[in-house]
Chain A
Amino acid sequence: MAYSEKVIDHYQNPKNVGTLDKSKANVGTGLVGAPECGDVMRLQIEVDEATGVIKDAKFKTFGCGSAIASSSLATEWLKGKSVDEAITIDNMTIVEELNLPPVKIHCSVLAEDAIKAAVNDYRKKNGLPELKFEESVIH
């Protein structure tokens, strides 16, 4: 199976690899997937407390090229969005942007789940009720 050029580009030049200080109140962390499944994604957001806008996003991913590319792309899209906007990022938009084949759709689902988990972690830290999301369909 050949990868799309966008996947290869994100794999070779991943954007925003790294770690944010998870002890800070304005940093939300989402850790999803499992080593046994061959995918673990950790996505972090740092929120500007005055504006509610995500000013930084970082990821680290254990997984295939599509998983790495999905998380790299997600961090790019997160920056500059408000926390509320962030949760509207849909996995199928990632699929379309990266031209993921059907067997790789779960990578985009994982990225969407990581975003939601990071947002909820941020909300929890700041005394906001956690959002309930519908179970992602493709697992």
Chain B
Amino acid sequence: MLNFPIYLDHNATTPCDPRVVEAMIPYFTNSFGNAASRNHPFGWQAEEAVDYAREQVAKLIGADPKEIIFTSGATEGDNLGIKGVFEMYASKGNHIITCNIEHKAVLDTCKHIEKEGGEVTYLKVKDNGLVDLAELEAAIKPTTILIAIMYANNEIGTINPMKEISAIARKHGVLVFTDAVQAVGKIPVDVNKDGIDLMAFTAHKMYGPKGVGALYVRRKNPRVKVTAQIDGGGHERGMRSGTLNVPGIVGFGKACEICMNEMEEETKRVSALRDKLQNELLKVEESYLNGDKEHKLPHVTNISFKYVEGEGLMMGFNKNIAVSSGSACTSASLEPSYVLKALGLGDDLAHSSLRFGLGRFTTEEQIDYTIEQVTNTVNKLREMSPLWEMYKEGIDMNSIEWAHH
């Protein structure tokens, strides 16, 4: 039996795993202590719970627990990691390299740094969404202090070659920061094997609660330091003040443990469903896969259905199926996704895209229903689309003088 609505937007957020919620509950009521209260059992209990969670989180990414700084989420981790390095290493240089399909939390942080006197290079990604390693290396200068490249992209799911990126960075003595929100918990991420110096990630993208995340900060080879962005009681070894979100952290730890134990099996199951969805939808005439087909997260696919508009398309089934679109018809700017445009897609294809994000609780029945609904709606809207009619009549749409508005 299908229960509606079906959730296929797991790159936006994930539901909490019931096992995570169960682990958190005692820390709201009985074990409510402040982890910084060092002089009584309430504080000890909270501190112990945080320490345990720190181990669970560290283990998932192959780090030492002392290298985990708890934050409110990945946006804070991105800010702390990038601004923190920029300020801490000001005497070494002021140049940061990033790419043009990063999340806004990274791009806007970089823009802020430019206002503060920093210099930022925004690398253009290749048409498949991946960073060009030769361009990356060519962009490094004597003043470069940081390379900030996302592990995996949130819209198209492409995975960057982090090992190769960090090898280049090492060669030039530059630190590597990565926003790994979409990757951690979904694919094996190991900060040592991948050569990562700083990494931001968050609980709510991996079946944990919202409002808690972590910044990994390397302690050895090299020892990395960041300037705190929030001042106060000196929590988290002075790098992030503020009373620890104990229940959130406990849930985050549990979520990491579950991902660690179940990743292999879950990846097999979810990627099979994703492949089915992707293959069936690519059978629709004039549909196009966005982003690299191989170097991609197991649970995401992003497809453009030419000659239909994404938001109109979603409206055909969004009472029952939750997905997202690269069309920005709802935003005041009317600009479609900057990520899709960076891949060289025309605005028309960017407006026609849907992102499907599968997850732990997605079933084959849901995927079958989605294939049917999306295909039917595309066909229905094409019957209504003047562009589809022109395409079928062989009219060159570039020959038309469109009234841009």
Which residues of A does B touch, CB under 8 Å? 1, 3, 8, 11, 14, 17, 19, 31-42, 60-65, 67-68, 103, 106, 109-110, 113, 139
Contact = CB atoms under 8 A, between A and B. Distances in A.
30 contacts: A8-B315, A11-B316, A14-B384, A34-B402, A34-B403, A35-B347, A35-B348, A35-B397, A36-B346, A36-B351, A37-B404, A38-B310, A38-B311, A38-B327, A39-B309, A39-B329, A40-B387, A42-B386, A60-B386, A60-B389, A61-B384, A61-B385, A63-B312, A64-B309, A65-B312, A65-B315, A67-B312, A103-B331, A106-B405, A139-B405
A41 B41 CA distance: 69
B221 interface: no
Contact of B347 (A1, A37, A41, A63): A37
Interface string B341-352: 000001110010
Given A62-B385, A139-B405, A37 B315 contact: no
A3 B315 contact: yes
Contacts, number: 98
A4 B58 CA distance: 48
Name the 5 nearest CB pairs between A and B, nearest first.
A34-B402, A36-B347, A35-B348, A42-B386, A60-B386
B389 A19 contact: yes
A84 B103 CA distance: 51
B8 to A, nearest CB: 19
Contacts of B310: 38
Interface of B: 307-312, 315-316, 327-332, 334, 336, 346-348, 351, 383-389, 397, 400, 402-405
Nearest to A43: B386
B405 A62 contact: no
B402 A35 contact: yes
A32 B351 CA distance: 17
A33 B308 contact: no
Contacts of B309: 38-39, 62-64, 67
Select the residue from A1, A35, A61, A64 with max chain B CB neighbours within 10 A: A35
B316 to A, nearest CB: 8
A10 B379 CA distance: 17
B405 A37 contact: yes
A103 B328 CA distance: 11
Contact of B385 (A1, A60, A103, A109): A60
A25 to B, nearest CB: 21
A62 B308 contact: yes
A40 B311 contact: no
B403 A33 contact: yes
B380 to A, nearest CB: 9
Given A34-B404, A65-B311, 18 more contacts: A17-B384, A33-B402, A34-B403, A35-B346, A36-B402, A36-B404, A37-B334, A38-B327, A38-B351, A40-B386, A40-B402, A42-B386, A61-B384, A61-B386, A63-B309, A64-B309, A67-B309, A68-B312
A113 B403 CA distance: 10
A40 B402 CA distance: 9
